[in-house]
A = this chain, B = another copy of it.
Amino acid sequence: MLMGELASILDTQLSASGHSALSDRLFETRRLSIELAAPLSAEDMVVQAMEDASPTKWHLAHTTWFFETFVLTPCLSGYPLFDEAFNYCFNSYYEHQGPRQPRPKRGLLTRPSLDRVLAYRQHVDLALAQLLAEHTNAPPAFIHTLEVGIHHEQQHQELMLTDILSLFAANPLRPTYRPAQPRSVPALSEPPRWIDFAGGVYQIGHEGKDFAWDNEEPRHDALLRPFRLADRLVTNREWLEFVADGGYEAATLWLSDGWAVIGRENWHAPLYWESRDGEWFEMSLEGLQPLSLDAPVAHVSYYEADAFARWSGKRLPTEFEWEVAAAEAPKQGNFLGTAALRPMPATAEPDGSPRQMFGDVWEWTQSAYLPYPGYRAPEGALGEYNGKFMVGQHVLRGGSCVTPQDHIRPSYRNFFYPHQRWQFLGLRLASEVA
């Protein structure tokens, strides 16, 4: 397999590098993508199960194209494109970069082959190492774009896993991405505790020199009323009560658009739930498993999250409320590095601070994904990264069990359409202060 060779080559190259921290992160990120793909066959990597998902091979190539296009071509003099046709194949949505393979047809790209895509990665990695080696003294001009490339690849690492899950869930054999791990079964039947937050003017958005996406800026004041937040995520056990209480059949619990969607799509439970002989299972990266009752519910749409909250007599938090609460919480959690690859029950010992703010599942907020006051998209192609999606979507916060830990921040804004649910999407309840 190419991965071994590739790694040794990179090790050699990188020893020459002076930007050890940056280059370490760069090549560790690059290597992690390969590791995540390792359990998959070439066949698994070429197919997409639905329009929203992309093939693993495409993710591997697209993230590479990103570095080639935005870092190497403008910044490494004499850099030879690996293959001119790849701009068409692996451009995702950058109108500045010209036409491209239509998204629903990414799964038709049996060529270029996986081998060739791996060679592409090697070609680009070597050139990146060369670029870094040429700039050992001064902070290079391309450093921001390189950072963007790293964070961009981290986003696709999450997508690789969720897209593979969608593929395996559509397979009648219900394959596993990895063998099932033994699962301890903690009992977490206690209701969540509620934490009160004071109203007032808060600073919202990213601050400082660390990396952040443009959509987290500018940092600005936001005026909040007092609010109350559950100290943990909603669980499968609680969702089962909602199902058993006829939640999916009670029109008046639902947003009008949501009611139309669940009727048209015939939804009666979260995406990967399956009922077999009266027992609930859920499809996971470890295959079809008994539903873990105390784990956070995942793979629910905004419509479902909103209906659940209404049924509960509560509401979803705004993204600002979430960010205020997150500022006080430890940035730890069940991330990709934990290797659980699924949401896990909250610790049974609450200490008054909010649990599960990071990791496990992205948390739907009632905030539409809109620009912050004073937001301006960057110039050029990278200006398309976030800004052009600011309509019709909702903000999610906190990262999931397949998010790389160093990818996430309290100010991080993820966004999906209200009907989407193939990501690890869940919810935490909020309410007014009585």
User: A residues bordering B, Cβ < 8 Å?
Assistant: 41-47, 49, 57, 85, 88-89, 93, 95-96, 101, 105, 107-114, 167-168, 170-173, 175, 201, 220-223, 225, 251-252, 254-259, 302-303, 306, 366-368, 370-371, 373-374, 383-384, 388-392, 394, 418, 432
A95 vs B259: C-alpha distance in the bound complex, in angstroms? 10
> Lowest 4 CB-CB distances: which A-B pairs, in order?
A368-B368, A95-B251, A223-B223, A43-B110
Contacts of A114 in B (CB 8 A): 43
Contacts of A384 in B (CB 8 A): 252
A384 vs B251: C-alpha distance in the bound complex, in angstroms? 10
Q: Known interface pairs A42-B43, A113-B43, A173-B112. Does A388 touch B93 (Cβ–Cβ under 8 Å)?
A: no
- Give the nearest-CB partner of A388 in chain B: B256
7 contacts between A and B (CB under 8 A): A41-B113, A93-B256, A101-B172, A111-B173, A220-B225, A256-B389, A368-B370
- Give the nearest-CB partner of A166 in chain B: B108
Contacts of A256 in B (CB 8 A): 93, 388-389
Contacts of A373 in B (CB 8 A): 225
Tell me which of A45, A110, A392 has the highest count of chain B C-beta atoms within 10 A of its own C-beta.
A110
Contacts of A302 in B (CB 8 A): 391
Q: Known interface pairs A47-B47, A252-B95. Does A171 touch B225 (Cβ–Cβ under 8 Å)?
A: no
A42 vs B222: C-alpha distance in the bound complex, in angstroms? 54
- Give the nearest-CB partner of A225 in chain B: B373
